[in-house]
């Protein structure tokens, strides 16, 4: 089964603009041939790879599994009639390479998710032992506001039910919740997992809606978003709190109108937990519990399909 989201590779039409954006976000980059590879500070795991390309889009998505399970996944793919694909140039040809039902390239490797070594932010939590005593909680503007991990992605699909069936029945993910029959579905990894590591929304073409970056607390979430706004990048939506996943959010658009979500406090579902799947009404109110504004009209617009 898929057990962790490792990284996302994106084709990038202007590597300098891509570097400028993700540097401003606070990720730590390095060159790998013609590619740019990014990690979150304090986490020894690649999270993002930028690959030169004519337009911005998903190049491939890398997931992690265990050594004893990759052979099971290979058998599942063979039984489902999914052929293996070649690894792209410039990357190691390891693990399984194949395309999902929408044609998105997927790589499954034997890898464990790496821990974040930066200390957690101390908060007062009513009802438990107070962690911050005799000190003010409001931070100054120079606190560390860099992402801690790539938490999940939301991709557009032409058939949400077909894709959900593939990722659950063939690759071992689990359905957490959904909005309507075709608006959105939220899938988590097969073991202990955040509420969703893969979300999907219906569109006329495949594409990436957003990558979602976990922050240390709500102050870091908002201050990171404000840093990008001050750098001239366009506001997406936020801040607010989602219903499915329960996380606080603020979305910022990249130079190609793609979204990056900064989040905090998402639901966590242990492997052995009893979790009831909910299906909400297919309307915009199911997208948020509260927000500083309703979602903009283009929130679910597939800009990659427009640019095709």
Q: 203 in a domain, yes or no?
A: yes
- What was the pLDDT predicted at 90? 85
Domain limits for position 85: 4-113+147-307
- What was the pLDDT predicted at 128? 72
Q: 123 in a domain, yes or no?
A: no
CATH number at residue 67: 3.10.180.10
Taking the C-alpha atoms of residue 239 and residue 241, their distance in angstroms, rounded to an integer, is: 7
Q: 124 in a domain, yes or no?
A: no
Q: How many CB atoms lie within 10 A of CB 120?
A: 10
- What was the pLDDT predicted at 97? 98
- What was the pLDDT predicted at 132? 74
- What was the pLDDT predicted at 308? 61
Q: For residue 114, give the 3-state DSSP assignment.
A: coil
Give bridge partners of residue 61 from the DSSP assignment.
8, 106
Task: Give the chain's domain count.
Answer: 1
pTM: 0.95
Q: 138 in a domain, yes or no?
A: no
114 and 42 in contact (C-beta within 8 Å)? no
- What was the pLDDT predicted at 118? 94
DSSP letter assigned to residue 86: P
Kindly list the averaged pLDDT for each block of 10 residues, start to end, along the chain of length 308.
Answer: 97 98 98 97 98 96 96 97 94 94 97 94 75 76 92 97 97 97 95 97 96 96 97 98 97 97 97 95 93 96 84
Q: 129 in a domain, yes or no?
A: no
- What was the pLDDT predicted at 265? 96
Taking the C-alpha atoms of residue 80 and residue 106, their distance in angstroms, rounded to an integer, is: 15
Going by their DSSP bridges, the two strands 105-110 and 57-65 should be labelled as parallel
Taking the C-alpha atoms of residue 169 and residue 289, their distance in angstroms, rounded to an integer, is: 31
Q: 265 in a domain, yes or no?
A: yes
223 and 231 in contact (C-beta within 8 Å)? no
Going by their DSSP bridges, the two strands 174-179 and 184-188 should be labelled as antiparallel
């Amino acid at each position: 089964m898929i057990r962790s989201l490792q990284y996302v590779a994106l084709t990038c039409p202007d590597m300098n603009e891509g570097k400028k954006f993700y540097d401003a976000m606070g990720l730590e980059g390095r060159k790998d041939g013609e590619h740019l590879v990014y990690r979150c500070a304090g986490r020894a795991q690649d999270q993002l790879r930028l690959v030169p390309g004519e337009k911005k889009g998903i190049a491939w998505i890398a997931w992690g599994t265990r050594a004893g399970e990759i052979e099971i996944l290979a058998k599942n793919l063979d039984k489902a009639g999914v052929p293996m694909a070649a690894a792209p140039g410039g990357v190691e040809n390891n693990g399984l390479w194949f395309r999902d039902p929408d044609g998105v390239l997927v790589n499954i490797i034997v890898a464990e998710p790496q821990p974040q070594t930066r200390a957690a932010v101390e908060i007062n939590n009513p009802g438990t032992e107070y962690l911050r005593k005799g000190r003010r909680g409001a931070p100054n503007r120079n606190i560390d506001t860099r992402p801690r991990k790539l938490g999940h992605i939301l991709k557009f699909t032409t058939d949400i039910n077909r894709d959900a069936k593939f990722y659950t029945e063939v690759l071992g993910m689990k359905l957490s919740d959904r909005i309507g029959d075709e608006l959105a579905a939220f899938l988590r990894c097969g073991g202990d997992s955040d509420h969703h590591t893969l979300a999907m929304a219906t569109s006329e073409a495949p594409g990436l809606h957003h990558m979602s970056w976990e922050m240390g607390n709500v102050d870091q979430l908002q201050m990171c978003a404000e840093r990008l706004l001050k750098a001239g990048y366009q506001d997406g939506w936020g801040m607010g709190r989602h219903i499915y996943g329960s996380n606080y959010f603020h979305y910022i658009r990249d130079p190609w109108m793609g979204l990056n979500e900064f989040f905090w406090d998402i639901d966590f579902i242990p492997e052995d937990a009893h979790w009831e799947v909910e299906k909400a009404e297919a309307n915009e109110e199911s997208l948020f519990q509260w927000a500083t504004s309703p979602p903009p009209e283009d929130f679910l617009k597939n800009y990659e399909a427009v640019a095709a």
